[in-house]
Amino acid sequence: MIGAISSSLPQGPSPSQDASLIITGQVLAVDIPERLAQVSIRDTSLWLPAMPGRYYRDETNPGLVRVLVDATKGRPVLVLGPVDPRPPLVPATLTAATSTVATVTLDGVAHVLPYMAGAYGTLPRAVWVSLDDWGTPVLVWGPSAVGDQSAPPPAPAPSDGATVQVVQAVGPQWSGSWRATRSAWDRWNTDRYGGRSTLYQGNGHGSGPMVGLATYGDQLVNLGAISIDRVQVAVRPVGLASGSPAVTVQGSPHGSRPGGAPSASGATASGMGGLLDLPGSVAEGMRTGAVRGLATVGGAYSAVAGAGNGDGMVLTVTYTRRA
């Protein structure tokens, strides 16, 4: 009786056959929210439940994966993970940054990520980006001497002259205030009201004349804009005890902190709180690279938040580029 029952039940493989329960396939796509992977096995494509893994999914890498096969039916049932997982830290290209997030290109796709503080210098530049257990970029770790080694995006089709309008945030890479009586940067209220990155203007409470400066490096000219149609800058008060009169903002050629007093010229705009529209001539200077920073040059003693203090001096840039 026992023998008859045993022979009627599905029989699994013997221990010597265990290895055949795992086969190799090629990953074609990954649906992270659904925890699924599309794999190609013996010229057949199918979606399967998948374990977390940093899967390769570009044409330059076969993206081999191990797949578990049902012991009784012989059908693939689960993607166990990549044969050779992608490293947890990969090179990418940093193209733009605000005070809190950075835009990086990896595998031909742009990602907006938080980033670690560091000397990133002129953009674009190579950086290290960390991946989570599914291979999704999560954090910019810092500058890298190795460029993005992922597959480049396909060459665009020949342009027919079409254009597209884009809105992008561009944050200051550095900001501070020049105090004329000290002939030095950041020598006023460095431990309050936002600290060293705050932009002051005017003369008050014994400060002597001051000018604030926020620098944006080459981020604006690197947009590749045909035209910059509108630029707004976030001018946020820092809660000065004496009040916060409007600041006057003027374009500056400095893309990084100068060694001495800052220079500024051209049209100005004044305001406090919210987003301040900059003159069209300043926007055009940003497009050509003639304007790489903004200075606070008003006569009334006041101050606005700078780099790393919320959205202080972050630009909202509306521009036109080729499609």
In a domain, 134, yes or no: yes
Among 82, 113, 134, residue at a domain's last position:
82
- Strand ranges across the sheet with 76-82: 44-49, 36-41, 22-31, 64-69, 76-82
In a domain, 154, yes or no: no
178 and 62 inside one domain? no
Q: What pLDDT score was predicted for residue 257?
A: 94
Q: Assign 210 to helix, strand or coil.
A: strand
> What is the C-alpha to C-alpha distance for residues 267 and 259, in angstroms, rounded to an integer?
24
Q: Assign 32 to helix, strand or coil.
A: coil
198 and 101 inside one domain? no
Residue 290's Cβ-side half-sphere holds a number of Cα atoms within 13 Å equal to 11
Q: What pLDDT score was predicted for residue 162?
A: 86
> What is the C-alpha to C-alpha distance for residues 57 and 50, in angstroms, rounded to an integer?
14
For residue 124, what is the domain's CATH number? 2.30.30
97 and 71 inside one domain? no
In a domain, 252, yes or no: yes
In a domain, 15, yes or no: no
Question: Per-residue confidence of the chain (323 residues) as pLDDT tens digits?
Answer: 555 555 554 444 444 444 568 888 888 888 888 888 888 887 788 899 999 988 876 545 567 888 998 888 878 989 998 888 888 888 888 888 877 788 888 877 888 888 887 777 777 888 888 888 888 888 888 787 654 444 444 445 545 578 889 888 888 989 999 999 999 999 999 999 999 999 999 999 999 999 999 999 988 998 889 999 999 999 999 999 999 999 999 999 999 999 999 999 999 999 999 899 999 999 999 999 999 999 999 999 999 999 888 889 999 999 998 87
99 and 199 inside one domain? no
Phi then psi for residue 271, to 5 deg, are 175, 175
In a domain, 5, yes or no: no
Query: Which candidate, 251, 243, 252, places its Cα nearest to that of 302?
Result: 243
Tokens of 269: 């705009």
180 and 76 inside one domain? no
CA angle 74, 75, 80 (to 5 degrees): 110
CA R_g for the chain: 28
Phi then psi for residue 188, to 5 deg, are -145, 125
Q: What pLDDT score was predicted for residue 11?
A: 46
Q: In total, how many domains does the chain have? A: 3
For residue 40, what is the domain's CATH number? 2.40.50.230
246 and 312 inside one domain? yes
29 and 133 inside one domain? no
Tokens of 4: 């008859």
State the alpha helices, DSSP H only, in the chain. 2-8, 280-288
Domain that holds residue 258: 164-322
106 and 66 inside one domain? no
**Which residues is 64 bridged to in the sheet?**
26
Among 32, 50, 82, residue at a domain's last position:
82
pTM of the prediction?
A: 0.54
183 and 313 inside one domain? yes
Tokens of 51: 């374990």
210 and 304 inside one domain? yes
Among 82, 108, 129, residue at a domain's last position:
82
230 and 117 inside one domain? no
Query: Which candidate, 241, 220, 248, places its Cα nearest to that of 318?
Result: 220
In a domain, 206, yes or no: yes
Strands 36-41, 22-31: parallel, antiparallel or unpaired by DSSP? antiparallel
In a domain, 117, yes or no: yes
H/E element holding 101? strand 101-106
**Under 8 Å between Cβ of 237 and 273:** yes
Residues 6 or more apart from 252 whose CB is under 8 A from it? Answer: 213, 215, 262, 263, 264, 265, 291, 292, 293, 294, 295
Q: What pLDDT score was predicted for residue 151?
A: 43
In a domain, 14, yes or no: no
Phi then psi for residue 206, to 5 deg, are 85, 10
227 and 279 inside one domain? yes
